[in-house]
Structure 1
Amino acid sequence: MVGLTHGLSIGIERTGSEFFLTLKAVGTLTHKDYKIITPMIDSALSKVDHPIVKVLIDGSQLEGWGIRAAWDDLKLGLKHGKNFKKVAVYGNKEWQATLAKVAGWFVAGKVAYFENATTAIEWLKE
């Protein structure tokens, strides 16, 4: 059996105007991935005038982005970053910690990097 080398899962939970968004990436993200997740996020957030979003990104199996996917990620952050209250990036690579710091430039709320998923979730719940 061949192991999974690429994949993306997304979860969106809503309570009133608050959203809890979870993303798990495996392998290298592509433009095609963003063509799938961007409309889902856009649609969910468009249902509320002033959405408040907390995000958990599981990058523990993320290897990186294709060039076009990195551009897609930036555009998504610029479009919805004002709605992000907290973004927790859970990973295991030094470049992910650096990326979390850079992401903080494009997000109105707080962005933090964690090497432990439980700690990341607890931080989001504070």
Structure 2
Amino acid sequence: MFKIIDITKEELIALEVEGKLTENDYNKITPLIEKAVKDFGKVKLYVQLNYVDGISPKAFWEDVKTYLKHFNDMKKIAVVGKSRWEKLWSELAAPFISGEVKYFEFTDIDKAREWVKD
């Protein structure tokens, strides 16, 4: 499940991720991304992986489609996590966007938030 968090503002979309991601989660967040792209051109994402219990195949496909569709629209993506798998996920996403993707450990949440806001 995606939860929009308080630092979301203008071109910055900030999300917490908990549980298992489904296609329905992407159906809710994609319009927010679409609107931000329409309003600001390039967007920044902050993704805080609190606890991820997996991703359904349809949700994974939606994730890939979103990155491909918005290849040139992503300015920065900050991913905050606590496992090698989460770091690997952020590294795998990098080729699908023209902007910068950076992974941060939970101990560096403040640094991640500052980096993505710049």
Q: Letter of the aligned partner of 2:33 in structure 1? A: I
What does 1:1-126 align with in structure 2 at a 5 Å threshold? 7-10=1-4, 12-14=8-10, 19-48=11-40, 51-115=41-105, 116-126=108-118
Counting aligned pairs with the same residue, the percent is 34
Structure 1 gaps of 5+ residues are 1-6
Aligned to 1:3: none
Q: How far is the alpha carbon of 1:96 from its aligned partner?
A: 0.8
Q: Letter of the aligned partner of 2:14 in structure 1? A: T
Q: How far is the alpha carbon of 1:125 from its aligned partner?
A: 3.2
Q: How far is the alpha carbon of 1:76 from its aligned partner?
A: 0.6
SS in 2 for 1:122: helix
The TM-score normalised by the length of structure 1 is 0.82
**Over the residues paired in the alignment, what is the CA RMSD in angstroms?**
1.5
- Rounded Cα–Cα distance in structure 1 between residues aligned with 2:63 and 2:96: 11
Give the number of the structure whose residues are more often helix, by fraction: 2
Q: How far is the alpha carbon of 1:74 from its aligned partner?
A: 0.4
Q: How many residues align?
A: 114
The TM-score normalised by the length of structure 2 is 0.87
Change (3 A) 1:41 1:125: closer
SS in 2 for 1:119: helix
